[in-house]
Amino acid sequence: MFSDHGPDRVVSERVAVGMSRKYRKFSPEFRDEAVRLVIESSRPIAQVARELGLNEGTLGNWVTQYRAEHAEDEPPLSVSERVRLQETERQLRELRMENEFLKKAAAYFARDPR
């Protein structure tokens, strides 16, 4: 069906290679340790994944799963943390509004001056 030459041959080789890939299995202990490194050190997932030789998407999935399963384990925010969070959210809203204004101003001044 496929000739030895031409694009059909290349496609069939890619499919064959893709089908023979093996997935690496990781022990629950390794997963827990990898997640702990991200959670406790507050380092980016990509950095920890590189150090451990993992795909960052894989480690990201593990961290997301851990956070979903342990959401109630997070201590509640203190009064000062709540105040800080509210202030930060207010600043974020203001910065977003300023950014939108600047985008509109830039578009206005960039339009054709006729």
User: Tokens 């006729």, residue?
Assistant: 114
How does pLDDT run across 29-73, given as a tens digit for each residue?
A: 999 999 999 988 888 999 999 999 999 999 999 999 998 998 777
User: Tokens 């709540």, residue?
Assistant: 82
What is residue 74's predicted lDDT score, i.e. its pLDDT? 74
Give a yes or no: residue 15 inside a domain: no
**CATH code assigned at 37:** 1.10.10
Residues 69 and 33 in one domain: yes
User: Tokens 């974020």, residue?
Assistant: 92
Distance CA 22, CA 88 (A): 46
Residues 64 and 85 in one domain: no
Tokens representing residue 70 in the block? 């342990």
Give a yes or no: residue 113 inside a domain: yes
Residue-number span of the structural domain to which 48 is assigned: 25-74
Whose CA is closest to 24, among 52, 66, 63, 43? 52
Give a yes or no: residue 13 inside a domain: no
Query: Which of these ranges, 18-27, 38-47, 54-63, 93-102, has the smallest mean pLDDT?
Result: 18-27
Count other Cβ atoms within 10 Å, centred on residue 63. 20
Give a yes or no: residue 107 inside a domain: yes
What is residue 66's predicted lDDT score, i.e. its pLDDT? 92
Residues 96 and 84 in one domain: yes
Tokens representing residue 6 in the block? 């031409």
pTM: 0.50
Q: Alpha helix (H) ranges present in 20-111?
A: 28-41, 45-52, 56-69, 79-110
Distance CA 61, CA 40 (A): 17
**Band of pLDDT at residue 22, cut at 50, 70 and 90:** confident
Q: Structurally, how many domains does the chain consist of? A: 2
Residues 70 and 81 in one domain: no
Give a yes or no: residue 1 inside a domain: no
What is residue 71's predicted lDDT score, i.e. its pLDDT? 78
Give a yes or no: residue 59 inside a domain: yes
Give a yes or no: residue 38 inside a domain: yes
- pLDDT of residue 92 exceeding 80, the answer is yes
How does pLDDT run across 70-84, given as a tens digit for each residue?
A: 877 777 788 999 999
